[in-house]
Amino acid sequence: MGQILIISDTHFLRKNELDKFIASLPPVDGIIHCGDIYLGYKPGDIQHLYICKGNNDFADIPYICHFTIDGITFTTTHGHKNNYAYNPTTLKQLLNEYPADVICFGHTHIPYLYQDDDIAIINPGSLSLGRSYPKKNTYVLFDTQTRQAHFYDIKTREEIIVEMQK
Ligand SMILES: [Mn+2]
């Protein structure tokens, strides 16, 4: 059963803390980071990482990433441009140029899940500076077989329910 880790807005979590978190999970087939990683990040720092550039990132990384893991195609972008993060369904505009099964974004630090027949849109929330109420720092494990996103609280490691938007 394949799993893809989706995280975002790790901000002040340092590389060793991020490494420790990743090592605490069962092996995953890929790691998607939706932007705003630690200061000083350099491409290649973390293996199997697909990262797009956030408004707090200075490394040479792309604003939009488009890639396939386990037969599932992802388009990712941080979401601070074009107000995407605050109107997530407008991210569908990217599909013309970057066709995908799943779009991932970040920036709001609030978990989000949209699903229709064509696309899933996912914001995993922030791993270190959650802004949901009650406040939780969260991540997503995406099951490549069922194509379902499962959200987890990093503190308790319990699954949390994120209401699906339609
Ligand atoms: Mn941001």
Among residues 154, 122, 160, the alpha carbon closest in space to that of 138 is found at 154
Residues 115-136, mean pLDDT to the nearest whole number: 94
The predicted model gives 105-109 an average pLDDT of: 98
Domain that holds residue 76: 3-165
Q: How many domains does the chain have?
A: 1
Contact 122, 140 (CB under 8 A): yes
> Ligand 1: distance of its center to the CA of 64 in Å?
14
CA of 2 to the centre of ligand 1 (A): 28
Distance 80 CA to ligand 1 centre (A): 6
Residue 14's pLDDT band, with cuts at 50, 70 and 90, is very high
Task: Provide, rounded to the nearest whole percent, the portion of the chain with pLDDT above 70.
Answer: 99
Residue 133: per-residue pLDDT: 84
Distance between start and end Cα atoms, the chain: 27
Question: What is the whole-number distance in angstroms between the Cα of residue 35 and the centre of ligand 1?
Answer: 7
* pLDDT at 116 exceeding the cut of 90: yes
CATH for 63: 3.60.21.10
CA of 141 to the centre of ligand 1 (A): 21
- pLDDT confidence of residue 129: 95
**pLDDT at 1 exceeding the cut of 80:** no
Average pLDDT over residues 131-153: 95
- At residue 166, the pLDDT reads 82
